[in-house]
Amino acid sequence: MGLSYNNWQRKSQLDTRELMLLESEVRAYGKDMTVAYILWFFLGIFGAHRFYMGKTGSAIAQLILTLTFFGSFITAIWWFVDAFLLHTMVKERNDYVESSIIDQILIQKPISPPNYSNY
């Protein structure tokens, strides 16, 4: 099972207020799919979408390759392939952010004592 399923399962432990907090924090710290694709389309050949996603090493590699004649051909292929990879990159990043925030919320929740009245 992936992180998404695990997050879904753990979200069932949160109340309404905590779910609203989770949603707002994911929006604030997660990555926007539309922004990622706009950067990919207009500036992707320079690695802008990878900088946005926090993949600095590969973004710098794309940028340097683009500045060379032969590298531009390689980067063009890389840019095309990224069109299909970008959705997964954003989804995985946002799943990770969501998981981290769920962890923080659950750590702050008080643990209720066990009910020994039936013993």
pLDDT in tens, 82-119: 999 999 999 999 999 999 999 999 999 887 776 766 65
Identify the H or E element spanning 85.
helix 69-108
Residue 62: burial class (beta carbons within 10 Å; 0-12, 13-18, 19+): buried
Scan for tokens 């997964």, then name that residue: 88
Q: Which two tokens stand for residue 80?
A: 């095309």
- Who's near 109: CB < 8 A, 6+ residues apart? 13
CA angle 8, 14, 16 (to 5 degrees): 110
Q: CA-to-CA distance for 46 and 52, rounded, in angstroms?
A: 12
- Domain ranges within the chain, ordered by starting residue: 19-108
- What pTM, to 2 d.p., does this model score? 0.85
**What digits encode the pLDDT tens for the residues 31-82?**
999 999 999 999 999 999 999 999 999 999 999 999 998 999 999 999 999 9
